[in-house]
């Protein structure tokens, strides 16, 4: 995560919400570039192609892990699905989570400390 943050800052990201992967000129890479990167990775790691690994696949896998280990409400917030106008049911009205819980899930997933996370040694 430290290397990704350094990459983003070195390539012109100024806000924590800015896109991480960027071209040398500082422009955020496009969806087409992400697709091309996975094609290139697949030429070196055949299982990437066989398993259909993509950015979306990583998101799906990560969110599934977060949901299984931290619960639906945290997975929903981790994914950025925080709007109240959805068909997910009224339970989500009562299961709001904060940044601390999302940061704790991230720290647990990556095995790296996060300044907003609670103790993840359990």
Same domain, 24 and 70: no
Mean pLDDT, the chain, integer: 84
Same domain, 26 and 68: no
The Cα–Cα gap between 30 and 35 comes to 9
pLDDT over threshold 60, residue 90: no
Same domain, 35 and 90: no
Same domain, 119 and 59: yes
What integer pLDDT is reported at residue 97 of this predicted model? 80
| Residue 65, number of CB atoms within 10 A of its CB | 14
The Cα–Cα gap between 116 and 94 comes to 22
What integer pLDDT is reported at residue 122 of this predicted model? 45
The Cα–Cα gap between 110 and 112 comes to 5
The Cα–Cα gap between 9 and 32 comes to 22
Phi, then psi, of 28 in degrees rounded to 5: -60, 140
Q: Which domain holds residue 116?
A: 54-122
pLDDT over threshold 70, residue 100: yes
Same domain, 62 and 120: yes
Handedness of CA 69, 70, 74, 78 (dihedral sign): negative
| 26, 14 contact by CB (below 8 A) | no
Give the residue, 89 or 33, on which the prediction is more confident.
Answer: 33
Confidence of residue 42 (pLDDT cuts 50, 70, 90): very high
Instruction: Provide the domain count of the chain.
Output: 2
Same domain, 65 and 113: yes
What integer pLDDT is reported at residue 85 of this predicted model? 57
């Amino acid at each position: 995560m430290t290397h990704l943050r350094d990459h983003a800052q070195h390539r012109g990201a100024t806000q924590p919400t800015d896109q991480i992967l960027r071209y040398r000129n500082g422009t955020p890479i496009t969806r087409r570039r992400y697709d091309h990167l996975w094609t290139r990775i697949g030429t070196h790691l055949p299982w990437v192609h066989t398993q259909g690994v993509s950015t979306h696949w990583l998101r799906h896998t990560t969110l599934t892990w977060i949901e299984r280990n931290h619960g639906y409400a945290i997975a929903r917030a981790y994914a950025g699905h925080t709007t109240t106008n959805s068909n997910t049911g009224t339970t989500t009205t009562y299961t709001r989570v904060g940044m601390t819980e999302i940061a704790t899930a991230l720290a647990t997933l990556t095995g790296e400390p996060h300044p907003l996370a609670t103790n993840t040694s359990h």
